[in-house]
Amino acid sequence: MKLRCLLIILLLPIKAFNQTDCDSSSFKQLLDFSEYKTISDTDFNNCCIITEYLLRNKCTKFIKEIKGTSYCIATLTSTFGKICINANSLNSVKEYFKYYKLKNGTYDEELEFTLERVFVKRPADFMNEFAKNDSVTRKRMIIGLAWGFVNNRRNAFHYLGDNPTKAMIVKNIPKKTVLDTSNYKSLYFSLNPQIIELYPMHKNDLDEVLKTIYTFLWVDSVLKEKN
């Protein structure tokens, strides 16, 4: 989901946010950084400090008043995730892993959505960091990667990078084909050429991701048939 200044992600009353000690000026700094197409190492480190501060103070949503009513304009996970992707470095992968593990266990689907995008952006660095974790964490991330893929690629059309005119073409899949059990592998390996290159080295883990994706899609198809 793309963040823009006037985009309202969630339309929820302020009472539901439960944020009593939230520094909106710090959150606004993060939102500004999230719109940068490239982010320097210095700026990224500053973003990490701000994110840690906001997370420590349970400030996970940016609240803005519009015509007398308060709304959630952006979340900390989606904002920091976009910053990590735009920073596009080994350090940004490491920092998202750190954030993911700190936030895991909370109800926040955007953790998985962004996890998958970080993997697609820098698959080699992602898998190297992934391998350093214990089996429980890796299993959790495998499920997260699969769930992120199914949701991010639901309509089976996408582009990589910030310029859609430089999009990677998904070969042999019509642009608006709905993702299902017959085409998910082709789409998966088309997201970044490095994924194919990495497959032999990380076959077991990537096969687990693919099996989990298949399971999610199969269950979805069964539920649709019943309805």
Tally of domains within the chain: 2
Q: Are 98 and 179 members of one domain?
A: no
Give residue-wise pLDDT tens across range 173-204. 445 567 899 999 999 999 999 999 999 999 99
- The domain boundary residue, chosen from 108, 134, 151: 108
Return phi, psi of residue 154, to 5°.
-50, -40
Q: Are 140 and 196 members of one domain?
A: yes
C-beta pairs of 22-27 under 8 Å, 24+ apart in sequence: 22/54, 22/57, 22/58, 22/59, 22/61, 22/63, 23/53, 23/54, 23/57, 23/59, 24/62, 24/63, 26/50, 26/53, 26/54, 26/59, 27/54, 27/59, 27/62, 27/74, 27/76, 27/79
Q: Which pTM does this prediction carry? A: 0.80
Give residue-wise pLDDT tens across range 18-69. 554 576 889 999 999 999 999 999 999 999 999 999 998 888 888 777 888 8
The SS3 of residue 17 is coil
| pLDDT confidence bin for 171, thresholds 50/70/90 | very low
Residues of the domain holding 119: 112-227
